[in-house]
Amino acid sequence: MQKDDRQTILIPEQSTLSEDDYYGFLERAHRLMSAFPGYFAPDEGVDALELSHTIPTVPETVIAIYVGINDAVCNKGLVSPFLVRHSHSNVFAFDPEVYSGRDDVPSGTADAREMLNGFEPPNGTWNPDWTYVMIEDPWRTPGSLWHERGYIDMIAAKFEDFTLLGDETTAGVCMFIEEAAFDHPVNRSRGYLPEARRRGERMAREFVVPAALSGETDGLVPVMLRRGEKLYVATADHRPCAHAWSNIHPGNSELAVVNENSAVPLDLIAAKPRMDPKYGKPPIPAHGSADMTTDTFFRGKMVRRTPLLAGKVRG
């Protein structure tokens, strides 16, 4: 891309990358994704990609995202040297007269505004004055919160299915995920995952975790997929499922492309109770990923969720 055709990037103060660095990464990601069908139309360039820098102080956390569709079902292509540890959490709205927020929340939960830097309701029909919480303790379940006094409604988080594209021998990526993910029926049905776990256990130490993010993958299970293999980022009981990846390995000559398909779990949506009419008309469900509503990060206060550049479809 010629410099005259570029959008100006407002570089975060803490970032050590230049505008040329960011555009060089975007052009690299565009070239890599262009090798696979399902992403770019023939005349789509780097301006079709969303660019984010999840933790600006850590150069390796830059990420390019191609968003094909972003609704109740999402499809994305992802390129990032290091995907920071995060999970997707159901969010529960409560009457502020019953729970005012911060430390005054249902037991086993945390105020979503304290959990996610820059939290915002998914659209204007969700009252910003409501108290929004996420499950924090393992004993809490969505069903138990539905029956708490002051419960209004729930914003469901999406489950993600990752597919490794390309050649794992030149663009290997080690994913890290909670053990509970392997109890989900989708992952149990994938006969290649036990061997992918064994590869991960053997090779995880060879993949780099940036020094500033030491401990980011602690307690998670390493998994090394081969071309075409998939990993479902979900738990059978709809709890948050922490995950991360490192694509930084001395034997890699290129970055990996990871495809993401994600969707709201319909069994959870169908089971939740109807909203009490005293709180008004039911709000419009979240469209798309609702990342600024449902994402929680291991280092939430360091995270910048606002994209540096928007793509053609908002992600």
Give me the residue label for tokens 């909670």.
178
pLDDT of amino acid 15: 96
- Which helix (H) or strand (E) covers residue 243, if one does? strand 243-246
Q: Alpha-carbon distance 101 to 93, whole Å? A: 11
Q: Say whether pLDDT at 117 is over 80.
A: no
**66 in Cβ contact with 24 (< 8 Å):** no
Which residue would you say has higher pLDDT here, 55 or 38?
55
pLDDT interval class at 40 (50, 70, 90): very high
Q: Alpha-carbon distance 259 to 148, whole Å? A: 38
Q: Say whether pLDDT at 220 is over 90.
A: yes
pLDDT of amino acid 82: 98
Q: Other CB atoms closer than 10 Å to residue 69's CB: what's the count?
A: 12
Q: Other CB atoms closer than 10 Å to residue 236's CB: what's the count?
A: 13
Q: What is the pLDDT of residues 87-111, one digit of tens each?
A: 999 999 999 999 999 999 999 999 9
Q: What would the mean pLDDT of 36-65 be, rounded to a whole number?
A: 95
Question: Against a cut of 0.85, is the pTM above it?
Answer: yes
From the list 33, 25, 89, the residue with the least C-alpha distance to 308 is 25
Q: What would the mean pLDDT of 49-78 be, rounded to a whole number?
A: 93
CA separation (Å) from 231 to 10, 119, 193, 227? Answer: 34, 27, 8, 12
State how far Cα 196 lies from the chain centre: 22
Average pLDDT for the chain: 93
pLDDT interval class at 2 (50, 70, 90): low
pLDDT of amino acid 155: 93
Q: Which pair of structure tokens corresponds to residue 17?
A: 């990358």
Q: Other CB atoms closer than 10 Å to residue 306's CB: what's the count?
A: 11
- Which helix (H) or strand (E) covers residue 144, if one does? helix 142-146
Q: Say whether pLDDT at 311 is over 80.
A: no
231 strand-pairing partners: 162
Q: Say whether pLDDT at 174 is over 70.
A: yes
